[in-house]
Amino acid sequence: MSSDALVIQDSSSVPASRSPSPAGNEVLTLRALVSTKDAGVIIGKGGKNVADLREQTGVKAGVSKVIPGVHERVLTVSGSVEGVAKAYTIIVSQLSPAPSSPGETNPPVSPSSIRLLISHNLMGSVIGRSGMKIKAIQDASGARMIASKDMLPQSTERIVEVQGSYESIGRAIEDIGRALLEDWERGLGTVLFHPGAGEDRSGRRPAHASNRRPNGDAPRGRTSPSPHSPSTQQPSNLRTQNISIPSDMVGCIIGRNGTKITEIRRLSGSKISIAKEPHDETGERMFTIVGTPEANEKALFLLYNQLESEKERRVGREQLQQDEQD
C-alpha cells in the first residue's frame, strides 16, 4: 500500500465510489456536481429527460434533492463504463449552449464542461505518476482536465473538471471510468460530498449563518456543557471506525508532542485512539475513531488533509534534493 493511502473499516454502511464487488459485470458509479438550473434540464419536464437517458444507455441516473438556499445538486450515474460515458455525453450535449444564430449552418462548437466528484484516494489513478495518466487521457480524448488540489468540505472527494466538446468529454469520462475501476479498492470508505446550506467552498460557516442545527440542537463548541456536567448525555448514534495508516505517516498525524492529533480531536469532536504496535505484517497502525457520523466525517476529512499536506511536503523535499544533485 502506498504511503498516502487510508484504509477504512466500518461496521456501518459507508458509501463507496463504486460497487464493492469486483466480480462479474463491473459497475461504475460516477458522480458530478451540477447547478440547480442544469439539474432541471437533466431531469426534464415530468422526468422525461432522465427517463430517456436511462432507456438509451441502460444506466441508473438521478439527481439529489433540492436543499433550500443551496444552488448545487449531485448527479449520480451508475452502469457499465461505456453506458456511463454515453450518458454523460448526452447530458453534456443537453447542457451545451445553443448556437448564437438559428440560421447558422455550421456554428462553432461551444466548449462545455462537467465537474466530476472523484475520491481523494483515487486521484492518483486518474492523474498517474508525474501526471502521465491525465496527459494521456487528454491527448486521446481531446478534452482538457483540471483537478482541484483541495477536498470538498466535510468529505474526501475532489473535483475534476472536464472541458471540451461533449464528444471529447464522453471519451475522457470513459478513460477516467476505466482508471477508477482498475483501482476500485482505494475508493472504499470515501466520505461523499453533500452540498449543504451554511458552508462555502472553504468549509467555513459564513458569519450570517444560523448557530442552530437543522434539527434544532445547539452546535458543539464553547457553549456546550462541560464534559463533567451531570446533565451531559452521550449521543445515542455513536459510530466506530477503524482506520489503518502507514507507519511512516503516523508521526505527521500525531505531530510534535501530540499537537496535531489533539487538534483533530478538538475540531471533529470524535475520540481517536492509536494502536501502539502495527496490527499486521504491513506495518500499518490502527486508528480507532468513535463519534457521531458527522464528527467522524470531520475527523476523516482532517486526517486526509494532514496526510495530503505531508505527502506534498515530502514530494517537494525530494524534488529539491533532485534539483540540487542535477
Residues 243-267 have pLDDT tens digits of: 777 788 888 888 888 898 999 999 8
At 285 the three-state DSSP class reads strand
Q: Is the pLDDT of residue 61 over 90?
A: yes
How confident is the model at residue 101, as a pLDDT?
52
Question: Is 23 domain-assigned?
Answer: no
Average pLDDT over the chain reads 77
Residues 210-236 have pLDDT tens digits of: 333 333 333 333 333 333 434 345 566
* Domain of residue 55, residue span: 28-97+111-187
Whether 57 and 81 have beta carbons less than 8 Å apart is answered as no
Count of domains observed in the chain: 2
Judging by beta carbons within 10 Å of its beta carbon (0-12, 13-18, 19+), is residue 147 exposed, middle or buried?
Answer: middle
Radius of gyration of the chain (CA): 22
At 41, is the pLDDT very low, low, confident or very high (cuts 50, 70, 90)?
Answer: very high
Co-location of 244 and 161 in the same domain = no
Co-location of 42 and 162 in the same domain = yes
Cell numbers 437543522 correspond to what residue? 214
CATH label of the domain that carries residue 137: 3.30.310.210
pTM over 0.85: no
Nearest alpha carbon to residue 239 among 41, 6, 8? 8
Co-location of 149 and 261 in the same domain = no
**Mean pLDDT in residue range 28-54:** 94
Co-location of 182 and 283 in the same domain = no
CATH label of the domain that carries residue 289: 3.30.1370.10
